[in-house]
């Protein structure tokens, strides 16, 4: 039997066929309170070069979470995650080249996937802001570990 190789799609792949206007309309629908201008992020993602992701078993999944969070009146919200690691504090070019799950591709329009992706990756601001925050957190963790070592002495 012949093996059929199915081409996976990534954020980088699906954004190529989209217009900002359509993604922005999805943003207004899903995040009506968010007044940030994400067009520069969209334009940046369009320019990301394709590359093979280092972990062939990792994929991006968009899901609806049906639970109210304390302080948030919504009964459901959207969560974009990978099946392995957090999307926080990672380079956008790496994230844009992770395959998207078939479930996500089958249940959401491309502009919806992209708007949730952009919203997720900009949680801490720009990519530089995210990397700075990651460094700050790592310094806190390292300091804590040093303190724990000193207590054991």
Whether 75 shows a pLDDT value over 80: the answer reads no
Q: Where are the domains of the chain?
A: 11-122
pLDDT in tens, 116-142: 999 999 988 888 888 898 889 889 988
Point out the least confidently predicted range of 30-34, 72-76, 101-105, 117-121: 72-76
Share the mean pLDDT of the chain: 87
pLDDT by residue (tens digit) across 44-63?
999 999 998 888 899 999 98
Whether the model clears a pTM of 0.85, i.e. scores above it, the answer is no
pLDDT over 50 at 144, yes or no:
yes
pLDDT at 4: 45
Q: For a pLDDT cut of 90, what percent of the chain falls above it?
A: 52
For the chain, give the secondary structure using H, E and C.
CCCCCCCCCEHHHHHCCCCHHHHHHHHHHHCCCCCCCCHHHHHHHHCCCCCCCCCCCCCEEEEEECCCCCCCCCCCEEEEEECCCCCCCCCHHHHHCCEECHHHHHHCCHHHHHHHHHHHHCCCCCHHHHHHHHHHHHHHHHHHHHHHHHHHC
């Amino acid at each position: 039997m012949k093996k059929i190789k199915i081409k996976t799609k990534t954020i980088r792949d699906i954004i190529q066929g989209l217009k900002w206007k359509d993604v922005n309309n999805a943003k207004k629908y899903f995040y009506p309170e968010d007044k940030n201008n994400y067009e520069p992020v969209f334009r940046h993602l369009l320019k990301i070069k394709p590359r093979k992701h280092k972990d062939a078993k990792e994929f991006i999944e968009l899901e609806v979470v049906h639970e109210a969070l304390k302080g948030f009146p919504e009964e459901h919200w959207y969560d974009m995650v990978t099946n392995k690691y957090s999307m926080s504090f990672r380079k956008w070019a790496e994230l844009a080249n992770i395959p998207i799950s078939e479930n996500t591709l089958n249940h959401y329009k491309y502009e919806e996937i992209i708007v949730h992706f952009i919203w997720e990756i900009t949680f801490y601001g720009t990519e530089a802001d995210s990397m700075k925050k990651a460094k700050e957190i790592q310094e806190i963790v390292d300091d804590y570990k040093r303190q724990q070592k000193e207590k054991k002495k």
